[in-house]
């Protein structure tokens, strides 16, 4: 009798331990997704800092405002329809059919929903960045709603859902090179083409007026948040951390991501210094930032499958993809204020191609019908996603142009959206003038100490600038 009771107690204890262990695994996996999602959400800060550094001072507040509102609008639209379209089941191959407004969504899926929202927010932020300095608030709200609530979720269903037609065919895109970056880049291309360039970007004689960063430190801070967010972006895409081998797999993703990002950045800096601008002895920091961005995008599709050498090769090649893509965009007179269009569209598409080429059982290492099929499906899938995104964005802008909502007026663009839209300049004109005067006085004192009037004249000529024209709100008009 005692022995039977003891065995029963042991059995109950074992069952309870199994239940507790299963609950613990679920909780740890949920926390993994939540923490990674929080870090991915830091990308929004990266977009805000970098984009505001790329535009002129008269539009900085508007950029920050739109980044803030973008996150708010996209979460509403994604939770209402986006998550349902992507992960709502259904066997139609096109989109999901349940969980609209999260109705009926099991509570253990909430962490997954939160993590996936951060991906949708990223896709809308990419489109927004390309349209700065000339896009109306109405157009911004319209495409933010549609990208986060429909365009991105449908393409994600094709690529991620077990019933999506691309997934069924064997499409491989681990962390969204195609379904996020290539899609957002294509939508941005269509929007930028339909809206047209900024009024002073391209001259009638074909001259291109480059608009440099107005704040290098701000751009660096944005790029730091980008790297932080993309590490979580890729590692979190593994989805769990409690199963056998999960830790090793996540570590592999993180290491490959870093290798690719840094390889692309260093390649960009060295190639710019010794090939493109051989007569200029400077090391271009902005080019290095752009190189890191393209590396982050290209690695997404295959960061879980590459060997370290392959991640390095992909990083090097990705910069040249960016270089060619940006050259084509400039030649076509497509205005891209943040310089990210070629990286998003070109890097996203070639990320799909590279994973089929350089993974362990890819075309280069193990050529076969299977590896060739992955290359074919990824190529076709990438092109289809780009056509879907660009086509829907063109339709959106046809409607916006009909109602004259596609871009701000020329006078508003010249004044700056900080004053026209937000009534809050980011910088006061007297602060900028004070900095310029202090900068000038440093050179004057330096020249006097050296006792060289020639040095003084040379230095003062270098810093001579036309005084800015303050507007009625104190905003610098450049």
Residue 9 forms part of a structural domain:
no
Residues 160 and 229 in one domain: yes
Written as six digits, the tokens of 185 are: 């880049």
SS3 content of the chain, % helix, strand, coil (to 5): 75, 0, 25
* Average pLDDT score over residue span 13-21: 87
Domain contains 147: yes
Tell me whether residue 422 is in a domain.
no
Is the pLDDT at 447 greater than 70? The verdict is no
CA-CA-CA-CA dihedral for 323, 314, 344, 168, to nearest 10: 140
Confidence class for position 465, pLDDT limits 50, 70, 90: very low
The answer to whether residue 434 is domain-embedded is yes
The two structure tokens encoding residue 418: 């900080």
Place of tokens 């040379």: 458
Residues 299 and 260 sit within 8 Å (Cβ to Cβ): yes
pLDDT of residue 444: 44
Q: Which of 371, 398, 417 is at the close of a domain? A: 417
Tokens of 335: 């205005």
Residue 357's domain comprises 18-417
Same domain, 434 and 463: yes
pTM across the whole model: 0.87
Question: Residue 336: what pLDDT?
Answer: 94
DSSP state of 202: B
- The residue assigned the tokens 């830790």 is 247
Query: Does 136 score more than 50 pLDDT?
Result: yes
**Pair 305, 445 in one domain:** no
Q: What's the rounded Cα separation, in Å, for the pair 235 and 303? A: 9
Q: What percent of the chain has pLDDT above 70? A: 88
**Residue bearing tokens 């010794």:** 274
Residue 401: is its pLDDT beyond 70?
yes
Q: How confident is the model over 303-312, as a mean pLDDT?
A: 97
Return the pLDDT at 76. 97
Q: Which two tokens stand for residue 295?
A: 């590396």
**Polymer length of the chain:** 478
Do residues 440 and 304 both lie within one domain? Answer: no
Co-location of 400 and 435 in the same domain: no
Q: Kindly state whether residue 12 falls inside one of the protein's structural domains.
A: no
Phi/psi at 476 (5° precision): -70, 125
> For the segment 175-233, what is each residue's pLDDT rounded down to a tens digit?
999 999 999 999 999 999 999 999 989 988 888 998 889 999 999 999 999 999 999 99
Q: Is residue 125 part of a domain?
A: yes
Span 18-27, average pLDDT: 91
Tell me which of 71-75, 90-94, 118-122 is least confident. Answer: 90-94
Distance CA 157, CA 317 (A): 29
Of 368, 390, 417, at which residue does a domain stop?
417
Residues 346 and 468 in one domain: no
Percent of the chain with pLDDT over 90: 77
Contact at 8 Å (CB) between 188 and 342?
Answer: no
d(CA 232, CA 258): 12
Separation CA 293–CA 114 (nearest Å): 24
Instruction: Report the number of distinct structural domains present in the chain.
Output: 2
How far is residue 451's CA from residue 445's CA, in Å, rounded to a whole number?
Answer: 10
Give the pLDDT band of residue 93 (cuts 50, 70, 90): confident
15-29 average pLDDT score: 91
> Residue 62: pLDDT above 80?
yes
Boundary (domain end) residue, out of 417, 439, 466: 417
The pLDDT assigned to 1 comes to: 61
329-339, pLDDT tens digit by residue?
Answer: 999 999 999 99
**At 88, which CATH number?**
1.10.3430.10
Residues 165, 56: Cα–Cα separation, whole Å: 44
Report the mean per-residue pLDDT for the chain.
89
Query: Are residues 427 and 473 in contact, defined by beta-carbon separation less than 8 angstroms?
Result: no
Question: pLDDT-derived band of residue 438, with 50, 70 and 90 as boundaries?
Answer: low
Q: What is the pLDDT of residue 450?
A: 47
Dihedral, 335, 339, 340, 346 alpha carbons, nearest 10: 80
Residue 275 and residue 386 in one domain: yes
pLDDT at 462: 47
Q: What is the pLDDT of residues 356-386, one digit of tens each?
A: 999 999 999 999 999 999 999 999 999 999 9
Same domain, 204 and 58: yes
Is residue 45 located within the same domain as residue 163?
A: yes
pLDDT of residue 280: 67
> Per-residue b/e over 328-343, b at no fewer than 16 CB within 10 Å?
ebbeeebbbbbbbbbb
* Banded pLDDT at 474 (limits 50, 70, 90): very low
Query: Using the 8-state DSSP alphabet, how is residue 238 labeled?
Result: T
| Contact yes or no for 158/166 (Cβ under 8 A) | yes
Does 264 share its domain with 299?
yes
Amino acid 434: pLDDT: 53
What is the DSSP pairing of strand 476-477 with strand 469-470?
antiparallel
Q: At what angle do helices 2-54 and 216-236 cross, to 10 degrees?
A: 150
**What confidence category does residue 432 fall into, taking pLDDT thresholds of 50, 70 and 90?**
low
**Do residues 458 and 348 both lie within one domain?**
no
- Name the band, by pLDDT with cuts 50, 70 and 90, for residue 95: very high
Whether 265 maps to a domain, the answer reads yes
**167 plus 132 within the same structural domain:** yes
Give domain status of residue 83, yes or no: yes
The pLDDT of residue 455 = 47
Q: Check residue 475 and give its pLDDT.
A: 40
The owner of tokens 């109950």 is: 12
């Amino acid at each position: 009798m005692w022995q039977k009771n003891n065995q029963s107690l042991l059995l109950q204890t074992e069952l309870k331990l199994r239940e507790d262990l299963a609950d613990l695994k679920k909780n740890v996996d949920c926390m993994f997704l939540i923490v990674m999602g929080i870090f991915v959400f830091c990308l929004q800060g990266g977009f805000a800092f970098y984009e505001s550094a790329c535009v002129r001072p008269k539009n900085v507040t508007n950029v920050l405002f739109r980044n803030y509102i973008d996150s708010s609008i996209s979460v509403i639209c994604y939770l209402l329809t986006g998550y349902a379209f992507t992960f709502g089941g259904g066997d139609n191959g096109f989109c999901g059919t349940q969980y609209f407004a999260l109705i009926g969504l099991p509570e253990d899926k909430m962490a997954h929903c939160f993590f996936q929202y951060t991906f949708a927010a990223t896709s809308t932020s990419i489109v927004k960045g390309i349209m700065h300095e000339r896009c109306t608030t109405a157009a911004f709200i319209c495409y933010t709603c549609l990208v986060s609530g429909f365009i991105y979720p449908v393409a994600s269903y094709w690529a991620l859902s077990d019933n999506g037609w691309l997934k069924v065919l064997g499409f491989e895109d681990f962390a969204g090179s195609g379904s996020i970056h290539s899609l957002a880049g294509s939508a941005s291309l269509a929007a930028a083409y339909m809206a047209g360039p900024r009024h002073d970007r391209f001259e009638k004689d074909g001259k291109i007026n480059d608009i440099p960063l107005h704040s290098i430190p701000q751009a660096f801070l944005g790029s730091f948040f980008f790297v932080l967010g993309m590490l979580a972006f890729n590692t979190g895409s593994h989805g769990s951390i409690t199963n056998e081998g999960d830790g090793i797999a996540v570590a592999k993703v993180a290491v490959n991501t870093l290798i690719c990002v840094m390889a692309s950045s260093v390649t960009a800096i060295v190639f710019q210094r010794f090939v493109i601008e051989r007569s200029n002895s400077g090391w271009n920091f902005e080019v290095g930032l752009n190189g890191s961005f393209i590396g982050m995008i290209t690695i997404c599709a295959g960061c879980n499958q590459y060997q370290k050498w392959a991640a390095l090769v992909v990083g090097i090649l990705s910069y040249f993809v960016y270089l060619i893509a940006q050259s084509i965009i400039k030649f076509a007179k497509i205005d891209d204020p943040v310089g990210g269009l070629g990286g998003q569209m070109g890097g996203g598409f070639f990320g799909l191609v590279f994973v089929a080429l350089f993974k362990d059982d890819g075309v280069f290492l193990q050529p076969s019908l299977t590896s060739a099929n992955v290359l074919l499906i990824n190529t076709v899938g990438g092109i289809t996603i780009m056509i879907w995104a660009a086509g829907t964005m063109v339709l959106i802008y046809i409607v916006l142009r009909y109602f004259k909502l596609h871009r701000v007026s020329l006078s508003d663009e010249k004044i700056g959206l900080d004053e026209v839209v937000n009534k809050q300049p980011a910088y006061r004109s007297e602060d900028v003038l004070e900095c310029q005067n202090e900068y000038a006085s440093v050179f004057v004192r330096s020249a006097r100490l050296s006792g060289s009037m020639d040095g003084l004249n040379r230095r003062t000529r270098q810093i001579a600038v036309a005084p800015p024209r303050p507007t009625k709100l104190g905003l610098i008009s450049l």
